[in-house]
Structure 1
Amino acid sequence: MLGCVIHGQGDLRVDELPTPSPGPGEALVAVRYGGVCGSDLHYWRHGGVGDFRLREPMVLGHEIVGTVLAYGTGATGTLPVPGTAVAVHPATPCGVCPECADGRRNVCRDTRYLGSAARTPHVQGGFATQVVVPAEQLRPLPPDLPLRRAVLAEPLSVALHAVGRVGDVRGKHVLVTGAGPIGCLVVAAAKAAGAARVTATDLLPRALEYAVAAGADSVVRADEPSSPDWPSEVDAAVEASGVAAGLDTCLRLVRRGGVVVQLGMLPPGRSAFPGNLLVSREIDLRGAFRFDREFDTALTLLASEPRFDRLISAVLPLTEAEPAFTLATNRAESCKVLLDFTPH
């Protein structure tokens, strides 16, 4: 069995791994597709994501879909029968911490998340021919939702959660800074939630084309401050670029009393931002981290919107993992890059 393993900064390998067997309450899944996420790229290029640093080899990947192969003993409930196409929810909250008790399982202090170095030993990810996951994390795909599109369920859930953190966006003008894969999905999520207008910004023309494909009503180059396409004011903003300049833009353009959601993971350490605007304009600045029950909503939305296929820019076999990661870093050419785990 093969898997995509990060051994350290810049050291990505396709390794032979032991074939797993499901234990009590677990499911064995044959992975078909995996989406290369920005966090996967950070582990590869920088040896960590934000404050989460690699300390040991780790199988990457948390955006995975495939088919059920088998269950271990004690897997109970209404479970998809073997052979069913499924998406895998990547989070296993502890269920007992104060955050879980408060209904905010996405910020559980003791969660396990596929392909994450947030804890040691690291939680191994899903970029492997076969994976074992808790059976309760399987989600059967809606009818007519192809596996290839279903792999977007995890990043779309992140986007849906971010839009949910804004609040009611119906009839409002929403700004999205950063038109990478997550930013484009935020555009789609905001439109699905009823936003009257969505403006997306980025430095790259190709990224802005993907934002239009996702449903943006207007796009603007982030490095052209004098462009007439810049809105004079927006009702809410989601910062999806992960750079301080994007947060600065959001705070300066959102209306008084508006909401800014920081979704992109900023570099480790301190980040400068115009904090006085929070005071003088009474702006609400909120964080958005991962997701919880939005996963099921994402699958339903994907089943109803073929336009999401436009955001998948390339599909490469697992054996070409490093070229796939290289392509995914080239935002001038790509949006969402997938790995195909079909045995060849």
Structure 2
Amino acid sequence: MTGHRAVVRTDGDVSVGVRPTAAPGPGELSIATLYAGLCGTDIQMLRGLRDDPAAVIGHEGIAQVVAAGAGAPDWCAPGTLVAVNPTHPTDPAFLLGHNVDGLLQERTLLPASALTGGMVLPLPAGTDISLAPLLEPLAVVRYALAGLRPFAPRTLVIVGDGTIGHLAARAARRWIDEDVTVVLVHHTADSRALSRAGSHHADLLLLAPELTTTRLPGPVAALLATPRNATVAALEAVLTAAGGDLVVDVVGGLPPGARTPLLPGVDLAAVRAANCGGIPDPPSITTTANGVRLFGHRGVANDHLLASAAELARDPGRYRDLITHETDLDGAARVMRSLAGSPDRVIDGRRLVKLAVRINNRFDDRSDNREET
């Protein structure tokens, strides 16, 4: 057994350490991450807002197959580009980067359940690996906007100025309607200034207090891309601003049993949990007593990942600048320590939207290097 480098969480600290590199057993897959991203839920884990146990986090990225154990599918040849769908729709024991060690390491050993469950997705050889950190979050946006589209909204309100929020603002006219008015609600004035400086920003850029005083032509769709401690407040602001003709997708996390007096009797966390891993598609929707259509979801299906990959290949320039910071494993540990100890997301004098971490160089050896165990 050899060793590889990884960004490891230990006793509240983050550092680069050496982890054992095990050969894949029957049905298992060893992959080498090329680029990985850091997402909002990762930051919540670093700040102690989530208790996920994985020592190595990271569920966004693109990797190459290094070796496959006996019984793995024939397409798992060394060198094959892959993405890993992090959320198993039926097996809660597989949640990449949360309860299973994630992609912020030079080698990741995927359990057999990842392959048998179809969670490993081969990608075209020409895929732009530098956009890897955007692949999974854009797939989340795909599922969200596809769920909102049948309601033909005139206005789309996106609450949240992280990666999901910015991606949704840029993809809305592709995946809802070219005439929809897009409103992006920001957490800070600095974040709004960053949006305004970009070339693909929303039609209307608001701060959270401005939402309830802004006229929103209906029908209104809302996408809540907020951390779990802000989601209920965001929902209440949208309900107050939009009136009756409203459909809401809760992408952001929620504490168990979360409720709001504006939607009596509705268990918000249960509504979100009804759609997991992209199943069902279209998502299950709850109509509340006051006529609000409400759904949420955690994770995506492979079709959403493929649609995301196609969109990034079609128009990479529309999304590339959302990767605001790029570094290696050592730099990632430094950034993660900074985020863990601060309530803001300013790194090296600039607000972080998406961090891209370079981990391995791409290799081209596609010889049959299948490991028998």
TM-score range, shorter chain: 0.7 to 0.9
Structure 2 vs 1, CA of residues 203 and 43 (structure 1 numbering), >3 Å: closer, same or farther?
Answer: closer
Paired amino acid for 1:74: G
Q: How much has 1:238 moved relative to structure 2?
A: 0.9
Q: Which residue of 1 aligns with 2:238?
A: 250
What is the aligned counterpart of 1:313 among 320, 324, 345? 324
Structure 2 vs 1, CA of residues 188 and 144 (structure 1 numbering), >3 Å: closer, same or farther?
Answer: farther
Contact map agreement 2:81 2:124 (CA 8 A) in 1 = no
The whole-number CA distance in structure 1 between the counterparts of 2:91 and 2:71 is: 26
Identity of aligned residues (%): 27
Paired amino acid for 1:216: A
SS in 2 for 1:199: strand
- Counterparts of 1:136-215 in structure 2, within 5 Å, are 136-142=118-124, 144-168=126-150, 172-195=154-177, 196-208=180-192, 209-210=194-195, 213=199, 215=201
The whole-number CA distance in structure 2 between the counterparts of 1:139 and 1:172 is: 35
Q: How much has 1:283 moved relative to structure 2?
A: 0.5
What is the aligned counterpart of 1:66 among 40, 63, 79? 63
Q: Which residue of 2 aligns with 1:217?
A: 203
Structure 2 vs 1, CA of residues 213 and 131 (structure 1 numbering), >3 Å: closer, same or farther?
Answer: farther
Instruction: Give unmatched runs, 5+ long, in structure 2.
Output: 267-286, 362-373
Matched, 1:14 2:16: yes
Paired amino acid for 1:12: V
Paired amino acid for 1:239: L
What is the aligned counterpart of 1:295 among 277, 292, 305? 305
The whole-number CA distance in structure 2 between the counterparts of 1:327 and 1:42 is: 9
Q: How much has 1:273 moved relative to structure 2?
A: 4.9
Q: How much has 1:145 moved relative to structure 2?
A: 3.0
Paired amino acid for 1:198: V
The whole-number CA distance in structure 2 between the counterparts of 1:297 and 1:225 is: 31
Contact map agreement 1:187 1:215 (CA 8 A) in 2 = yes
Paired amino acid for 2:5: L
Paired amino acid for 2:295: R
What is the aligned counterpart of 1:44 among 43, 46, 59? 46
The whole-number CA distance in structure 1 between the counterparts of 2:352 and 2:226 is: 15
The whole-number CA distance in structure 2 between the counterparts of 1:151 and 1:69 is: 20
Structure number with greater CO (CA < 8 Å, separation at least 6) is: 2
Instruction: Give unmatched runs, 5+ long, in structure 1.
Output: 94-104, 117-121
Contact map agreement 1:153 1:295 (CA 8 A) in 2 = yes
Contact map agreement 1:314 1:334 (CA 8 A) in 2 = yes
SS in 2 for 1:164: helix
Q: Which residue of 2 aligns with 1:5?
A: 8
SS in 2 for 1:241: coil
The whole-number CA distance in structure 2 between the counterparts of 1:255 and 1:207 is: 27
Contact map agreement 1:19 1:130 (CA 8 A) in 2 = yes
Q: How much has 1:226 moved relative to structure 2?
A: 7.8
Residue deviations 1:210-244 (CA, integer Å, cap 9, x gap): 4865552221122335876x535552111112313
Matched, 1:324 2:335: yes
Contact map agreement 2:149 2:175 (CA 8 A) in 1 = no
The whole-number CA distance in structure 2 between the counterparts of 1:273 and 1:192 is: 35
Q: Across the two proteins, how many residue pairs are aligned to each other?
A: 316
Residue deviations 1:25-44 (CA, integer Å, cap 9, x gap): 23221111110011111111
**TM-score (normalizing by structure 1):** 0.81
Paired amino acid for 1:112: F
Structure 2 vs 1, CA of residues 76 and 272 (structure 1 numbering), >3 Å: closer, same or farther?
Answer: same
Q: Which residue of 1 aligns with 2:109?
A: 132
Q: How much has 1:63 moved relative to structure 2?
A: 0.8
Contact map agreement 2:86 2:299 (CA 8 A) in 1 = no
The whole-number CA distance in structure 2 between the counterparts of 1:254 and 1:145 is: 40
Contact map agreement 1:201 1:222 (CA 8 A) in 2 = yes
**TM-score (normalizing by structure 2):** 0.75
Instruction: Compute the RMSD of aligned alpha carbons.
Output: 2.9
Residue deviations 1:63-122 (CA, integer Å, cap 9, x gap): 121222222111125x2532233322223x3xxxxxxxxxxx3xx363511111xxxxx3
* More moved, 60-69 vs 139-148: 139-148
Q: How much has 1:23 moved relative to structure 2?
A: 1.9
